[in-house]
Structure 1
Amino acid sequence: MSTTAFDSQKLFAELEKHDYLFFTGKPEISDIEYDHLHAEARSVEPNHPYFNKVGYKVVDGSIAHIIPMLSTEKAYSYDEVSKWLAKVEKAREQLNYPTTLIKCTPKLDGVAACYDADNRTLATRNDGGSGANISQLLDLNLTIIGDASQSGAGEIVVNNDFFNKYLSEHFANPLSAVAGLVTSQTPNRHLQFALSQGAIELVLFKDLDCAQFIDIADATSTNLEALELKCREIESIYAIDGVVFQVANEMVKNHMGTATTYHRWQIAKKVRGEDYRTSVTDIIFQIGRTGKHSPVLCYNDVIMKGATHNRATAHHCGSLLVRGIGIGSEISVTKSGEIIPFVTQVHTHGEPAIPTHCLCCETELVWSYDKESKNPTFLTCPNEGCESRIERSIIHHFKTLKINGFGDKTVKKLVDKLELTTLSDVYSLTLNDYLSAGVGIGDATNLITDIKKATTSPMPDYLLLGSLGIGKLGRGSSKKLLAVHRIDTLKEISRNDILSIKDFGNVTSDNTFMAMQTTKGNDLSILLENYQSIIHTQDAAIEAQSLLESSTSSLAGKRVVFTGKCSKGRDDMGSEAESYGLIHQKRVTADTDILVYGEKAGETKLQAARNKGVTVITEADYRQQL
């Protein structure tokens, strides 16, 4: 067995590369291959800052979405779907709701977009909150499938028959054609022709007429598969890469809520690629930021879609034991990117060769176990002083805070030459320290300047906490925690204090409490000393409450949404409303009080708001009451 530690950051570099290639219309791998690469990276470093984004971030020319456009959690088997259904059932029981329906729709294989009917704009999903402005497509004969008078999310796709007849010689697949279209201000002549013929369409999800429904009590694998087959009938018209199951009942959906990047009330069931059979020749290990040793299987070369591959992921060391994978094992793999494909089946078993000590620092490794099956899962180095863990922690920290320059090579130099033991050690480094570690004077000067700029600029407390890399404590969970406890008191609170917070379970509570008693707690103290302008979550809430109490407006405390063309941009209207003590919402919900409309507001949207009991007024009436 090889004892070479595989650099997990190569996985994330590969993902970033394929993100860029996809959003510039030049994808090198299929969607399925990308998803498996994505799954491999998540198994190695589930809290890596890469997973805090939803899509490929645009730098400028962006439009804020009128509704959040989050990613969809993915499954590749009905066993995985069943686990999701168990969470739905638990939510239903907690609400004491008699039953709930599960909705099944096709997962169109195109580019997700947000359509604003009132302002006639269109934007790609990108990071979920805003996207690239592609409104020009609306003037280039982009066909809208659904009610164009109503805003909503949808998928830009190309008609299959048209693609096969006119575009297949110029693009690898329908998705690459659409991806190229949305990243070009001037579509090439082939795409212009497709637009002129109405062959490129925006299909609004809300108006898909092929949805299938099933009671959760009847949602067996057999019945769900039948629904999937029914939904796949649309494949004759559009390319699809699976189906989406989601909760149809609004109360259950609201109860399940959302994670940072995806809705908990839906899951995409996708299809694996073609399997290839081969033999395991060696096993090497990747060491992640939290010390997890994740196995990579080396196998005899197989040619997948014209490329030679010889590595696959086994996800975690426990999988080697449970599945009986060792050198000489016969396995089937499916291509999942240029680095690490995915193991789909084990045909003949072998004796797993698993390390007992860390491949970096030689500390004895510790097993963790699945709480339901009791099977072993991850094998982790508990030594917080492990160089590999320190390097990964530093990279994660500065990437989360958007401080550039701390890449793999630079951080390795700092840890090796300066013997750094924690991420907070970086904040005491001088120019001479950087130079003695082999960092060039230009890069060293930039790093010091960027750190100083960050420490003297306003910094949200939840970003600081999330940057520590505590297991299961990302930015969203950090914000929830800091809404209850100030960041400078976290070392003093108990495990039960944390556990009592909504959505905090045993694992997150244990991880957070223990981290505050060890190195991470010391790191936090040093960060609090260095960052001079911390924006506290609690203070922001208090300020909003103060504005509400001091406001003399009769509308103070009301929840307001703006639509149509008002005298100011939507964000400026929202900021102004908040200064008067109102609560600005992006879209009309069940608790919205007022919908303010300007010019060119859609009457259908206004009537829909009235039907929900929302007060609908003009901007002029709104300003008179303000």
Structure 2
Amino acid sequence: MLTSSQWQLLETASLNTLNLRPEHIADIAAHSDATLLSNTQLVEFLQVCNCLYRGGEPLITDLAYDHVFLAELEKRQPEHPYLNSVEPEVTFAGKTVLLPEKMLSTEKTYSADGIEKWLTRLEKAAEDIGIDIASLHFKATPKLDGYAAYDDGTLLYTRGDGKKGTDISRVFERGLIVAGNGLRGQGAGEIVISLRYFASHLADNFDNARNFQASIIKEKDLGAHALEAIQNHAAVFFPFAQLPSWQGCAADLKTNLADIMTQTLSSVDYDVDGVVFEVTNDALKNHLGATRHHHRWQIAYKSNIETATVTVLSVTPQTSRSGRVNPVAELEPTRLSGALISRATAHHYGMVKEQGIGVGTVIELTRSGQVIPKIERVLKPKTPQIPEHCPSCGSTLVWDSDYLYCLNTTQCPSQIENSIEHFFRVLANNDGFGGKTIQKLHAAGVSSVYAIYQLTLEDLTGMGFGEKTAQNLLAQRQLSQSLAIEDWRFLGAFGIHRMGLGNCERLLQHYRLADIFQLTAPQIMAIEGFADKTAAAVVACLAKINNDFQRIYQLGFNLTRTPFLTEQQQNHSPIAGKIIVFTGTMLHGKRDAMSQQAKRLGAKVATSVTGKTDFLVTGMDVGAAKIAAASAKGVQVISEEDYLALLR
């Protein structure tokens, strides 16, 4: 069956009135047989799959969409309008506006033979207009698998239907940055999330990066995960013009295609699902033109996502530091995309229960390039393998929505060890306290961060550590106290529920670290970015960790205090209450530092100019069009020097 979030996407796109029933849609996806569908059913199923994919809740793989269902429609009705138009995106909150230029889809191929045929067409077209084939120049860039958007320097639009998109400029106002040179107005690009950040911060809460990217755009009030990703610059708008690229001639492209693909696919830390090739000769591009669907001078060689039918050997529960027990499917060893895969995440036990994942379950496993393997769908369900007790401490588990939790927070070994490891990892000013070391310490009776700070050289050697290793651990522990760290990072190291590093910094802009344990939920709610549920959770968690925090805090750490956003600062600041946008390359400091200073002085820093903007502060390399557009809105445009003089 479709999930509730998938069905909600279909309702938003007005596709819930189709003839296909939810159970029929799920059945078609499970069997991947397009030949049994009528023409109407086939088109409707394609519409459903496109909607769910672009909404971050994919139903089938790209490969199945293109090679099974889209190919069947091309065979039956090659002139069908669906094949000759840009697949529409889910409508997000915001006004629909005409795009500055059309954003077409890209022609796709899944084979080297497809690239050869495309090159042959280009070479023939070049001959037709008298261009020397040897002079043709080609470019290859990674095909980002994010949310397509267009930035004209003033507004940011979704791709929509290729002609009209939705104004989502709010994502820049929330702090989203532009990757590359950081400048607005570079045209088409994609909103993406760092793969490493997703794996370390988001994988437990989102099924895939696309699912998370949707939350950045469509939520009116950003969730804590989305806000923190934006603040950490892990989520960005990446203009295509800033992408790393391979460049060369047709002969090089043909000879080194495999190497070019490998090099380009690994050139960015974002989800990619292929490589985009294009010819750069303007005369040839103009001659080739475009269909209503794609440019003829460009093609995407999509990663051939490998799939395998695999049997589940068992489902292993793993307890995290928060007490959530996550299921990991142990699989028959299977080679996919050059790697031997024996495990895959099942996301949560709600999925295990609903889809019947247990011993003997047959699944379809997918992996593309370096992407983590995932369970694409269950082919033959079996009795779900769901634990009743925590695998670490044996406590009875409890359900909370789709998740299982161990509530034995003070004695569960996994929660204790993961929490200690989290503390030292977030401080990020020391090395040595990794998982293996902490396991050994815990086995010897060390069960808290505070206890680690009480250990002596004799204690460590008595636990089985060599003298040199023990001395190194003590030295690293001393570094964790002596090296300067921000007080919000120190607070974040305690792993407070709903308190990522961004929220920790926001809280300490209003209250001193020593005073936050007396705060009430209404006081926290008064701070921008804290909703009622978050505030209540923060108060409860602060009370829970108070004793441990105070003992560790009093050991003495070199903490850099977060500057307050005080009324006194704001009242004496010439930019208090003003909305400021910084653009261009600054000579007297980085834009991030200038933004932080402006916020401390009571200003609101935005990333795009609107009619409400008070100052556009310009550095070097700012286009005249951007300045003219700001002036037309009544915005005061000042140079970096004038801005600094204003502050003085």
TM-score between the two structures when normalised by the length of structure 1: 0.56
Shift of 1:169: 4.9
8 Å contact 1:461–1:535 — kept in the other structure? yes
Cα deviations across residues 204-258 of structure 1 (Å, max 9, x unaligned)?
xxxxx99xxxxxxxxxxxxxxxxxx987x369725387xxxxxxxxxxxxxxxxx
8 Å contact 1:159–1:238 — kept in the other structure? no
Residue 602 of structure 1 aligns with which residue?
Answer: 623
Pick closer, same or farther for the CA change 1:317–1:577 going to 2, 3 Å: closer
8 Å contact 1:516–1:522 — kept in the other structure? no
Alignment partners' CA distance in 1, 2:296 and 2:473: 51
Residue 388 of structure 1 aligns with which residue?
Answer: 414
Please give the secondary structure, in 2, of the residue aligned with 1:406.
Answer: coil
Pick closer, same or farther for the CA change 1:581–1:423 going to 2, 3 Å: closer
Shift of 1:166: 2.4
Pick closer, same or farther for the CA change 1:447–1:85 going to 2, 3 Å: farther
Alignment partners' CA distance in 2, 1:338 and 1:575: 36
Pick closer, same or farther for the CA change 1:115–1:460 going to 2, 3 Å: closer
Shift of 1:398: 0.9
Residue 316 of structure 2 aligns with which residue?
Answer: 284
Q: Does 1:404 align with 2:431?
A: yes
Give the number of aligned pairs.
435
Residue 166 of structure 1 aligns with which residue?
Answer: 252
What amino acid does structure 1 have at the position aligned with 2:635?
V
What amino acid does structure 2 have at the position aligned with 1:77?
P
Residue 52 of structure 1 aligns with which residue?
Answer: none
Residue 181 of structure 2 aligns with which residue?
Answer: 115
Structural mapping, 1:119-138, within 5 Å: none
Pick closer, same or farther for the CA change 1:159–1:501 going to 2, 3 Å: closer
Shift of 1:509: 4.1
Shift of 1:343: 1.4
Pick closer, same or farther for the CA change 1:530–1:311 going to 2, 3 Å: same
Q: Which moved more, 1:294-303 or 1:390-399?
A: 294-303
Q: Does 1:541 align with 2:568?
A: no
Residue 481 of structure 2 aligns with which residue?
Answer: 455
8 Å contact 1:390–1:423 — kept in the other structure? no
What amino acid does structure 2 have at the position aligned with 1:604?
A
Shift of 1:494: 4.0
Cα deviations across residues 350-388 of structure 1 (Å, max 9, x unaligned)?
12232222222212222211xxxxxx4334353332111
Cα deviations across residues 519-574 of structure 1 (Å, max 9, x unaligned)?
x222221232134454444x4323xx5455456xx667755556567763455994
Please give the secondary structure, in 1, of the residue aligned with 2:565.
Answer: helix
Cα deviations across residues 441-474 of structure 1 (Å, max 9, x unaligned)?
4443344334434434543232122211223321
Residue 609 of structure 2 aligns with which residue?
Answer: 589
Pick closer, same or farther for the CA change 1:296–1:572 going to 2, 3 Å: closer
What amino acid does structure 2 have at the position aligned with 1:404?
D
Residue 498 of structure 2 aligns with which residue?
Answer: 472
Residue 416 of structure 1 aligns with which residue?
Answer: 443
Higher relative contact order structure (alpha carbons within 8 Å, sequence separation ≥ 6) = 1
Pick closer, same or farther for the CA change 1:476–1:315 going to 2, 3 Å: same
Unmatched 5+ stretches in structure 1:
1-72, 93-98, 129-151, 184-193, 200-208, 211-228, 242-270, 370-375
Q: Does 1:239 align with 2:272?
A: no
Shift of 1:499: 5.3
Please give the secondary structure, in 2, of the residue aligned with 1:290.
Answer: coil
Pick closer, same or farther for the CA change 1:449–1:110 going to 2, 3 Å: farther
Structural mapping, 1:1-16, within 5 Å: none
Q: Does 1:521 align with 2:542?
A: no
Residue 426 of structure 1 aligns with which residue?
Answer: 452
Please give the secondary structure, in 2, of the residue aligned with 1:389.
Answer: helix
TM-score between the two structures when normalised by the length of structure 2: 0.55
Shift of 1:411: 1.2
Alignment partners' CA distance in 2, 1:622 and 1:522: 46
Please give the secondary structure, in 1, of the residue aligned with 2:588.
Answer: coil
Shift of 1:483: 3.9
What amino acid does structure 1 have at the position aligned with 2:426?
T
8 Å contact 1:298–1:310 — kept in the other structure? yes
Please give the secondary structure, in 1, of the residue aligned with 2:181.
Answer: strand
Alignment partners' CA distance in 1, 2:320 and 2:439: 14
8 Å contact 1:577–1:584 — kept in the other structure? no
Residue 364 of structure 2: which of 332, 336, 346 is its match?
A: 332
Shift of 1:428: 2.3
Q: Does 1:77 align with 2:77?
A: no
Shift of 1:480: 3.2
Please give the secondary structure, in 1, of the residue aligned with 2:328.
Answer: strand
Residue 110 of structure 2 aligns with which residue?
Answer: none
Structural mapping, 1:262-301, within 5 Å: 273-301=305-333
Alignment partners' CA distance in 2, 1:317 and 1:576: 42
Alignment partners' CA distance in 2, 1:292 and 1:380: 6
Shift of 1:495: 4.7
Please give the secondary structure, in 1, of the residue aligned with 2:391.
Answer: coil
Q: Does 1:349 align with 2:368?
A: no
Q: Which moved more, 1:575-584 or 1:504-513?
A: 575-584
Cα deviations across residues 86-113 of structure 1 (Å, max 9, x unaligned)?
9x55xx7xxxxxx667998869735894
Pick closer, same or farther for the CA change 1:323–1:506 going to 2, 3 Å: farther
Shift of 1:272: 9.7
Alignment partners' CA distance in 1, 2:596 and 2:58: 49
Shift of 1:344: 1.7
Structural mapping, 1:470-509, within 5 Å: 470-495=496-521, 497-498=523-524, 501-505=527-531, 508-509=534-535
Please give the secondary structure, in 2, of the residue aligned with 1:530.
Answer: coil
Residue 315 of structure 1 aligns with which residue?
Answer: 347
* % identical aligned pairs: 26
Alignment partners' CA distance in 2, 1:498 and 1:378: 29
Alignment partners' CA distance in 2, 1:330 and 1:565: 55
Shift of 1:330: 2.1
Alignment partners' CA distance in 2, 1:389 and 1:362: 13
Cα deviations across residues 107-160 of structure 1 (Å, max 9, x unaligned)?
973589423679x9xxxx9989xxxxxxxxxxxxxxxxxxxxxxx951355889
What amino acid does structure 2 have at the position aligned with 1:612?
K
Please give the secondary structure, in 2, of the residue aligned with 1:355.
Answer: coil
8 Å contact 2:508–2:564 — kept in the other structure? no
8 Å contact 1:276–1:333 — kept in the other structure? yes
Alignment partners' CA distance in 2, 1:101 and 1:579: 32
Please give the secondary structure, in 1, of the residue aligned with 2:518.
Answer: coil
Task: Please report the RMSD computed on the Cα atoms of aligned residues, expressed in angstroms.
Answer: 4.9
8 Å contact 1:365–1:382 — kept in the other structure? no
8 Å contact 1:281–1:327 — kept in the other structure? yes
Alignment partners' CA distance in 2, 1:579 and 1:353: 51
Please give the secondary structure, in 2, of the residue aligned with 1:522.
Answer: helix
Alignment partners' CA distance in 2, 1:234 and 1:567: 40
Q: Does 1:614 align with 2:635?
A: yes
What amino acid does structure 2 have at the position aligned with 1:344?
E
